[in-house]
Amino acid sequence: MNEHKCKALILDSDPDALLNLQRTLENSGVDTTITWDNAEARNLVRTTPFDLMLIGDHPPEISVENTLADLRVRGELSPCLVLRTTATGKMRAERLRQLGVAGVLPKRDPERVLEEVQKALA
């Protein structure tokens, strides 16, 4: 049987969070690609089919809402989880859901992120 290995893109400006999430997801069998650059993330999404995207709430050059809207316009949006550093307000959470976000998670809790990744891919 040819088993498909899940491919996930992680975009965040925090290298510690990126590496912790990558390690946790890779150890559970998820093939990850990490980047801290929004432009690189857009190029990767255009050239690589990802099963899931995890986007940090503070990429340095653009907001997560703009990143998601940009990818949606291109028709390239895989299921997405937003990684947050602080609590997300109700209005912002609703806006993210409208953009297709499957969940908003604390980026400093890789085990919780892994649980939600597994749910999103089930």
The pLDDT assigned to 1 comes to 39
| 2 part of a folded domain | no
What DSSP designation does 8 have?
A: E
| 38 part of a folded domain | yes
- How many domains, in total, are found in the chain? 1
19-to-32, 37, 57, 94 alpha-carbon distances in Å: 10, 15, 16, 29
106 burial (CB, 10 Å; 0-12 / 13-18 / 19+) is middle
Q: Which domain holds residue 64?
A: 7-121
| 1 part of a folded domain | no
16 burial (CB, 10 Å; 0-12 / 13-18 / 19+) is exposed
- Tokens 């085990």 found at: 111
pTM of this structure: 0.82
| 84 part of a folded domain | yes
Q: Does the CA dihedral 71-22-97-116 come out positive or negative?
A: positive
> How do the pLDDT tens digits run along the chain, 122 residues long?
346 688 999 988 888 888 999 999 999 999 999 998 878 888 888 788 888 889 887 655 567 777 776 666 656 567 888 888 776 666 677 777 777 788 888 888 899 999 988 888 77
| 83 part of a folded domain | yes
CATH (domain of 24) = 3.40.50.2300
